[in-house]
Structure 1
Amino acid sequence: MRTAPGTVAPGATGAPPPAPDARPAPRWLLTLPLMLGSGALIALQSQVNGALTLRLGTGVRASALAALVSFGSGLLVLSLLALLHRPTGRGVAQLGRDVHRRRLPLWLVLGGLGGAFFVASQGLAAPTLGITFFILCFVAGQAVMALVVDHRGWGPNGVTALSRSRLAGALLAVLAVAVSGAGLLSAVPVTAALLGLAALPLLAGAVNSAQQGVNGRLAARVGPWPTTWNNFWVGTLGLVVFLGLTLLRPGDLTGLPSEPWLYLGGLCGIGFIWASTLTVRIHGVLVVGVFSVAGQVLTAALLALLTGSGRPGPATWVAVLVSLAGAAVVGLAQRRRSRRVG
């Protein structure tokens, strides 16, 4: 049997073990609803964690505790999965051994800090900026950094050169968020302090895109479930530190509420982190991010319609169409690239 130059034939002495992602990748078309669904889970988690924050108390301290409850409950579920599902358990154990023996660079396992930083920036900046302006800045930072990550080849699927289609899709994602909150954005007074504070969500968005690239690389080494567990483990540790720091600021905690649905944020987080670690290896960081934004905008509109919290106006549905258009533009561009490469 002939082998390519520089490779070792299977079964030969010293041959490396097969990579965890050697199994066939999911079909391209089937991953599209998975990416939209991950955005929907982000929107649902935002609703759940927002309600939990209001029930826990006031100030940044309540926001930090809500995030810690979300991450901690997700970590508990994933740890039970690792105990009951032997392949996941072996993957987590192997991850721990590789980190201990320094077979993995430290930066490759710190992706979970991106989620902790997002929560910290939300607690610090969202009350002043308003949630709409905060999300707009976050998506802008996310889109710009996604272009950079893919262009530099820092993600798991190699270099994807900047193109007009990719730039247009990123701009459409930002525009969709701006259109959906146009009325609220017009009421935000623009000051030097506000623009300075806007740097936090911009940086959080950039960190989020870098996190997806890191997660994709780690998943290629150990698989998506151990990568998801690692995200929750590292994120939980980061949030413990953040919660401790918030004790130095004003705020009150009133105790844990009894409604079970307020603790579903961790399950939502498991879903979208697992989905993003799987799909980013196929589509790249930008495509996953733009589809996620489309899923968030669409789900937010449907939640408002179904819960009766406010009838979505024309601007909301225009935002939905714009976000879906952005997803279609970057998705088709990536599909054409994949066919040329393949």
Structure 2
Amino acid sequence: MPQPSSRSAFPLALGLPIAVATGLVIPLQGRINGALGARLNDGIAAAVVSFTTGLLLISAISLATPKGRAGLQRIMPAVRNRSFPRFYVMAGAIGALFVFAQSFTVALLGVALFTVAAVTGQTLSGLLVDRMGIGPGGKRAITGVRVLGSVLTVAAVAWAVSPRFGGDADVASLLLPVLLPLAAGFLMSFQQAMNGTATVHYGTPVAATLVNFIAGSTILWIAWLIKLAVAGPGNPLPSEWWYYLGGPMGCLFIGLAALLVRSLGVLITGLGMIAGQLVGSLLLDVVIPSPGAVVALPTVLGTVLTLAAIIVATLPWPKGSFARRGPAKGR
């Protein structure tokens, strides 16, 4: 059974750009899932569609590729032998929450504000997860600089979302849509760490991605069947092909994140993906604005400040740079 190793598969110069490029996919997935939720008038159904299409794709990849088949053979022995805590197989529930948050709130908030809210939660939890040592890279210290970067991120988010709370806006009606991506983003770092650890023992991120989609799809199907019994079905499925791309995009960033956390750690992987999310979300809301999207000056500047906070949190500051120095000798 493969064991965690400290040897990096990707150097920072290669892994970080991959993380940024992976993050660019997430806002596009959010736009697609949000549009599907609005089209179906059912956020749960949209999440079910996204996860089910992703499950079909990753199942085909698992069966069609040698590494995928080898990973399938390692899943049950790893779980049975408790190579990692068994609840890690439920990491897909976090992905289900994130996709549901996309389907339910993107049409209300716009991609940019959804992303900034999710970014806040992910930045804060990245510190916690690295400190707890949940990921395959082990424990990493919470430094003053990283805390400062997190505080700056929260301030940037408050600034970026401020246009939505001006004028006659109903703050109460926006509170849940903002809190949902915030909570989903907070849990994403835990998902990445759990998937990264499972990937070490499965031998491939394909198997970890498959387990994610099985768990998430199961939860979402149960939730949708309950909703169906209580409230009835929403609108019929659309015929346009692009509504069904959310699931395959989820396969891409879940698999790459599970692979990258072993080399970069949870915080750096998450922050790299955050940078891609911020750039991609603003571009989408500027070039193809969705109903309810607000891209005012504070939104843009708040996003820039968030990027600055990420830089502050990731720069290799010399040890003791921010330590309090005593009075100079000889004075």
Instruction: Look up the SS of the partner of 1:273 in the other structure.
Output: helix
Measured in 2, the distance between the counterparts of 1:282 and 1:173 equals 24
- Residue 212 (1) aligns with residue 208 (2): no
The size of the alignment, in residue pairs, is 314
Contact kept? 1:45, 1:265, Cα under 8 Å: yes
Structure 2 counterpart of 1:269: 250
Measured against aligned partners, the alpha-carbon deviations of 1:176-222 in whole angstroms (never above 9, x if no partner) come to: 4433332113355445x976886655443332221121111111211
Match of 1:256 among 234, 237, 240: 237
Structure 2 counterpart of 1:9: none
What is the TM-score of this pair, normalised by structure 1? 0.79
Q: Which structure 2 residue ranges, 5 or more long, are not aligned?
A: 320-331
Instruction: Look up the SS of the partner of 1:181 in the other structure.
Output: helix
Measured in 1, the distance between the counterparts of 2:107 and 2:34 equals 16
Moved more, 79-88 or 198-207: 198-207
Measured in 1, the distance between the counterparts of 2:238 and 2:84 equals 40
Structure 1 counterpart of 2:23: 39
Structure 2 counterpart of 1:10: none
Match of 1:319 among 295, 298, 302: 302
Structure 2 counterpart of 1:238: 219
Instruction: Look up the SS of the partner of 1:158 in the other structure.
Output: coil
Contact kept? 1:41, 1:268, Cα under 8 Å: yes
Measured in 2, the distance between the counterparts of 1:297 and 1:139 equals 8
Q: 1:95: Cα distance to partner?
A: 0.6
Measured against aligned partners, the alpha-carbon deviations of 1:46-90 in whole angstroms (never above 9, x if no partner) come to: 01111112222x2xxx21111111111111111111111111111
Instruction: Look up the SS of the partner of 1:29 in the other structure.
Output: helix
Structure 1 counterpart of 2:64: 84
Contact kept? 1:128, 1:194, Cα under 8 Å: no
Q: How does 1:1-342 map to 2 (within 5 A)?
A: 18-19=2-3, 25-56=9-40, 58=41, 62-100=42-80, 104-120=84-100, 126=105, 130=109, 137-186=117-166, 188-190=169-171, 200-222=180-202, 223-250=204-231, 252-307=233-288, 312-333=295-316
Instruction: Look up the SS of the partner of 2:315 in the other structure.
Output: helix
Give the partner amino acid of 1:254.
Answer: N
What is the TM-score of this pair, normalised by structure 2? 0.81
Give the partner amino acid of 2:96.
Answer: A
Measured against aligned partners, the alpha-carbon deviations of 1:96-116 in whole angstroms (never above 9, x if no partner) come to: 343356555321211101112
RMSD: 3.2
Contact kept? 2:94, 2:188, Cα under 8 Å: yes
Q: Which structure 1 residue ranges, 5 or more long, are not aligned?
A: 1-16, 338-342
Percent identity over paired residues: 35
Instruction: Look up the SS of the partner of 2:287 in the other structure.
Output: helix
Contact kept? 2:2, 2:201, Cα under 8 Å: no
Measured in 1, the distance between the counterparts of 2:107 and 2:25 equals 25
CA distance 1:190–1:180, change in 2 (3 Å): closer
Measured in 1, the distance between the counterparts of 2:220 and 2:313 equals 34
